[in-house]
Amino acid sequence: MIPYCSICWEDNKVRLLDQRLLPQEELYLEITDYHDIIEAIRTLAIRGAPAIGVAAAMGAALGALALKTEDPEEFKKSFAAICQEIAAARPTAVNLFWALNRMQDVVKAHPAEPVAALQERLVREAQVILKEDDTTNRHLAQHGQVVIKDGDQVLTHCNTGALATGAYGTALGVMRAAWEAGKRFSVWVDETRPLLQGARLTTWELGKIGIPYTLIPDGAAAALMQKGRVNVIIVGADRIAANGDTANKIGTYSLAVLAQYHGVPFYVAAPFSTFDFSLADGLQIPVEERAPEEVTRFRREILAPSGAQALNLAFDVTPNELITGIITEKGIARQPLISDIKYLRSAKD
């Protein structure tokens, strides 16, 4: 059992591990106001597409609890406004919108209920979303662990562990399942500039699980592939278009091109809720541009001259043809991705 949780619901409060302070400090925030959930998502106190989904649902539940009206119509209107406000926290991870839609569906499905009953349902739904996320991740990890062989050197980018999800992890969950199945391998961890989720979070999680890892600067991944020291690459996803094009942390597309050049299999691991079937391809995925200061400074240290211009694209989009397979809770979609995705979409869990 991993001795930490990224987010949970306790006694009508959200308890959330502040990931900005990791690995130096393990501080849990106790949040009762949904505005603080928005702030936590915006500032990356909680991040990772599935975890953002859970946080959004719990934020919506907090918002619902705080509504003082007893008029169901007024409640529905105010609740919709709260969901809209939470939806604006970050633009790329589709799980955010998916989770909020699920919360709004609860309200829509029970038009005749009094406010107190709706509030109770919403609190329960947020916890169901968390629980399902855990189950989903464990299923996808079981499907995915076949891509790791004993003795492999696995490479990953950003953080996709229990911190990035409700509980188990996606790409890192795949590694965890392979490890728990008794396979022995090691992991190259891309530090993942600018916010160093690899250096700060993935190393921390792999250390807790006990999987050996080596941290590298993002620019070193190519040299390791050139030397034949990478057997498989597994990353997460923030949004996947209907054709398999995948938005993920900046630097992912770079790895995918390098993987193809070196003949290294490149896998994306994500729950089905990461698919946005309203988008035919990745060109339409909105990519968040964050503050340049995340590039020009790190905590107390200034990394560039004052006034330096910087571009901080939070994500990039990897086209489907560079992806060996997408690992989901329903199985692995392989090339040609489009038909496999269609098949899995229609399949039972």
**Catalytic sites, residue numbers:** 238
Instruction: Enumerate the β-bridge partners of residue 266.
Output: 233
Shortest distance (Å) from residue 312 CB to a copy of itself: 8
> Is residue 313 within the footprint of a copy of itself (CB under 8 A)?
yes
Fill in the per-residue mask, 224 to 263: x = in contact with a copy of itself (CB under 8 A), - = not in contact. Answer: --x-----------------------xx-xx--xx-xx--
C-beta of 260: minimal distance to a copy of itself in Å?
8
Q: Are 54 and 48 in contact (CB under 8 A)?
A: no
User: CA 198 from chain center: how many Å?
Assistant: 13
Among 218, 281, 288, 293, contact with a copy of itself (rule: CB under 8 A): 218
Q: Give 51's contacts (C-beta < 8 A, 6+ positions apart).
A: 6, 7, 163, 164, 165, 166
Should residue 199 be labelled a site residue for a copy of itself when binding is judged by CB under 8 A?
yes
Say whether residue 21 binds a copy of itself (CB under 8 A).
Answer: no
Interacting residues of 151 by C-beta distance below 8 A, sequence separation 6+: 184, 185
Q: Is 200 in the site for a copy of itself (CB under 8 A)?
A: yes
Of 132-140, 142-150, 220-228, 324-332, the segment contacting a copy of itself by CB under 8 A is 220-228
Output the six-digit token pair for 45.
């106190």
Distance CA(213)–CA(154), nearest Å, equals 9
Minimum CB separation from a copy of itself for residue 208, in Å? Answer: 9
Amino acid letter for position 225: M
In contact, 111 and 143? CB cutoff 8 Å: no
The verdict on 213 binding a copy of itself (CB under 8 A) reads: yes
Nearest-angstrom CA–CA distance, 135 and 128: 10
Peptide bond preceding 336: is omega within 30 degrees of 0, i.e. cis? yes
CA distance 330 to 262: 29
- Tell me: does residue 336 bind a copy of itself (CB under 8 A): no
Tell me, residue by residue from 292 to 311, as one string, x for binding to a copy of itself by CB under 8 A and - for no binding.
x--xx-xxxxxxxxxxxxxx
Within 10 angstroms of residue 212's Cβ, the number of other Cβ atoms is 11
Interacting residue with a copy of itself among 238, 276, 316, 340 (CB under 8 A): 316
Q: For a copy of itself, how many residues bind (rule: CB under 8 A)?
A: 56
Build a one-symbol-per-residue string for 109-148: x at contacts with a copy of itself by CB under 8 A, - elsewhere.
----------------------------------------
Biggest alpha carbon distance in the chain? 66
Q: First and final CA of the chain: distance in angstroms?
A: 25
Indicate the residue among 157 and 330 with the shorter CB distance to a copy of itself.
157
Given a contact cutoff of 8 angstroms between Cβ atoms, the answer to whether 256 and 322 are in contact is yes
Q: Closest distance between a copy of itself and the C-beta of residue 269, in Å?
A: 19
Nearer to a copy of itself, 114 or 151 (CB): 151
Listed ranges 6-14, 57-65, 233-241, 289-297: which one lies at the site for a copy of itself (CB under 8 A): 289-297
In angstroms, the CA 170 to CA 181 distance is 16
Q: CA gyration radius for the chain?
A: 20
Angstrom distance (rounded) from CA 134 to CA 177: 13
CB of 308 to a copy of itself, least distance (A): 5
Instruction: Using the minimum distance from each CB to a copy of itself, give the nearer residue, 318 or 328.
Output: 318
Using CB under 8 A as the criterion, which residues of the chain lie in contact with a copy of itself when the complex forms?
A: 23-24, 157, 190-194, 196, 199-200, 203-204, 207, 212-223, 226, 250-251, 253-254, 257-258, 260-261, 292, 295-296, 298-313, 316-317
